[in-house]
Amino acid sequence: MARPGPRRTLSPDQLLDAAQELLAERGAGGVSIRGIAARVGVAPNAVYTYFPDKAAVLGALVDGVLGRVDQTRFLDPEMPWRERVIALAVALRDELLADPGIVALMGGVPLHGPNAMAVGETLLEVLSAGGLDAEDAARASYLLTVYVLGAVSLEVAELEQPGPPPPEADRVAARAVGFAMVPVDRYPRSAAVAATMARYITRDQFEWGLERVLDGLAPETASSPRDVAKAGRK
């Protein structure tokens, strides 16, 4: 048997597009080799002509999302370096949160693709422009990466539906319901701050945390940190 079907119709990008669609529609667990193959109208094992295994597909998928962040705009020397770091981190957060399924995938694959490397390179360049020496820049870059990754992970963990997340206001409301059920007798302090917690897991809170991290990294760039902290409030 084995009818060959049309040749040369496939490409890695076509497979990755299909994977992307599955990720958006069904979440991280919905991305399967068989699903990708079905979507492009091909036998499951045809995928193995382009990728050695599933991990390679997921790795390319993750790196592709990181490639959607245009890094060149953060290299503008007119912009203060601290603002450029913040802009880059926020752009990353927004891109990852737009495709929440990708975050679960990031935990499983090492971030060594070309686009991940490019982001790291940009970050090191900005930090270097800020006057940090090589070692300081390396440590700062690691700390900032930790922050972005951790913040996005926690924010995504609260979403149960796959696909692009609902507006921030709706997410706050949904969280409030869950937090309201914290038993006051067992966890008094958690219950006391539940309403606050529900309210502040937002982009503003992400920026607030980022400012604190930068204050710790480069105290001399902090413009009266406590003022900034209080200013973010209301």
Partner DNA sequence: ACCTGAACACCGTTCAAGT
Of 24 and 214, CB closest to a second copy: 214
**Which token pair is 156?**
């995504």
In the list 46, 87, 111, 174, the residue contacting DNA (rule: CB under 7 A) is 46
Using CA atoms of 108, 66, 101, 208 in order, give the dihedral in degrees to the nearest 10. 100
Contact range with a second copy by CB under 8 A, out of 39-47, 66-74, 150-158, 166-174: 150-158
Our finding on whether 75 is near a second copy (CB under 8 A) is no
Helices in the chain by DSSP H: which ranges?
12-26, 33-39, 54-66, 81-98, 101-106, 114-129, 134-157, 168-179, 188-192, 194-200, 203-217, 225-231
Chain-centre distance of CA 127, in angstroms?
A: 20
Number of residues that make up the chain? 234
Contact range with DNA by CB under 7 A, out of 42-50, 59-67, 160-168, 176-184: 42-50
Binding mask 5-24 for a second copy (x = CB under 8 A): --------------------
Q: How far is the CB of 132 from a second copy (least distance, A)?
A: 10
- Residue 4 binds which of DNA, a second copy, none (CB < 5-8 A, kind-dependent): DNA
Q: From the CB of residue 48, how many other CB atoms can be counted at a distance below 10 Å?
A: 14
CA–CA dist 85, 144 (Å, integer): 9
Q: How far is the CB of 118 from a second copy (least distance, A)?
A: 7
Binding mask 198-217 for a second copy (x = CB under 8 A): --xx---x--xx-xxxxxxx
In the list 33, 109, 194, 198, the residue contacting DNA (rule: CB under 7 A) is 33
